[in-house]
Amino acid sequence: MLTVVWVDELDEATTREVRELLAAARDEDGRPDLPPGGALPGEFATGLHLLGRADGVLAGYGHLDVAGDAFGRQVAELVVRPDHRRRGVGSEMLSALVDRAGEATVRLWAHGDHPGAAAIAERAGFSRARELLIMRTAVDPDWPEPTLPEGVSLRTFVPGQDEQAVIEVNARAFDWHPEQGRLTVADLRAEEAADWFDADGFFLAEDTAGKLLGFHWTKVHPANPHRFGGRETGEVYVVGVDPGAQGGGLGKALTLAGLRHLRDRGLPQVILYVEGDNAPAIAVYSRLGFTRHEVDVQYER
């Protein structure tokens, strides 16, 4: 019998249980990525937590971001321990998520587009609403030097100096995006404190007056035995171009600057995330050698 309870915060012991469950799911599915140490992924830091126990074992974990995305939609995650799947745990926990959300619009992530997750979501009245593609390429020794628009120069990010300008461009470039457009100066500074942050891989494009026109923020993932062939992997983390500077090739130039940086670090491959309906961006990345590797899906009710 499954017992389902909501909690506002996780104590230390329960956090360990949840991490163990997520690690078991990662070993089976390749997801989710877990930070080093004993912490949970950052997206689970706030919001509500749903715990499903069967015979004293944490069989399922759910998370509900009640603050929602940039458009006010609540966002849910649901993970079932692999050895408790196909026993109704996912369906029962999703029912509890739906009840808790009430009349609010809810989006549910299915990472990796797992068919079991799709079946559970559809039975609960969710429909496929968003695809987030993960594209991947081997590093290309022939990626050309970026060609910048006239009057534009590149430099790297300076912590303590450039946060506000980056956030302002980011907000304009991603005003349509459910997550990225909400980034704040505080969020950016928190990322700077992370072990992976590297200002030398954060490129800024400026005009002759020093006005920020766009940026390319890269990231490096340590080798993960469960994903991407178990090799260290670079990421085109965020490419943002101010709407007033779009259309002149700046986005491609920034992308190339970051790709060449990742290549020069000796990384064997690079990934990126792109919305499945963003055909122009997908076309640009495809021409640079990226191909579709995985897909994450959001279902909406």
| 266 in a known ligand binding site | no
Contacts (Cβ under 8 Å, ≥6 apart) of 177: 70, 275
Classify residue 87 by its DSSP letter: S
| 241 in a known ligand binding site | yes
| 112 in a known ligand binding site | no
| 214 in a known ligand binding site | no
| 249 in a known ligand binding site | yes
| 180 in a known ligand binding site | no
| 123 in a known ligand binding site | no
Question: Pairing mode, if any, of strands 233-241 and 269-275?
Answer: parallel
| 139 in a known ligand binding site | no
| 235 in a known ligand binding site | yes
CA 237, 129, 106, 24 dihedral sign is: negative
| 79 in a known ligand binding site | yes
CA distances to 216, 244, 287 from 281, rounded to whole Å, are 14, 17, 10
| 91 in a known ligand binding site | yes
| 4 in a known ligand binding site | no
Bridge partners of residue 131, in order along the sequence: 297
| 273 in a known ligand binding site | yes
SS3 call for 187? helix
**Helical packing angle, 250-264 and 279-287, nearest 10°:** 40
| 151 in a known ligand binding site | no
| 239 in a known ligand binding site | yes
First to last CA, the chain: 27
Classify residue 11 by its DSSP letter: -
Asked whether 123 and 91 are in contact (CB, 8 A), the reply is yes
Report which secondary-structure segment, H or E, holds 36: none
| 251 in a known ligand binding site | yes
Numbered residues of the known binding site for acetyl-CoA: 78-80, 86-91, 239-241, 246-252
In the annotated binding site, the residues are 78-80, 86-91, 179, 219, 235, 239-241, 246-252, 273
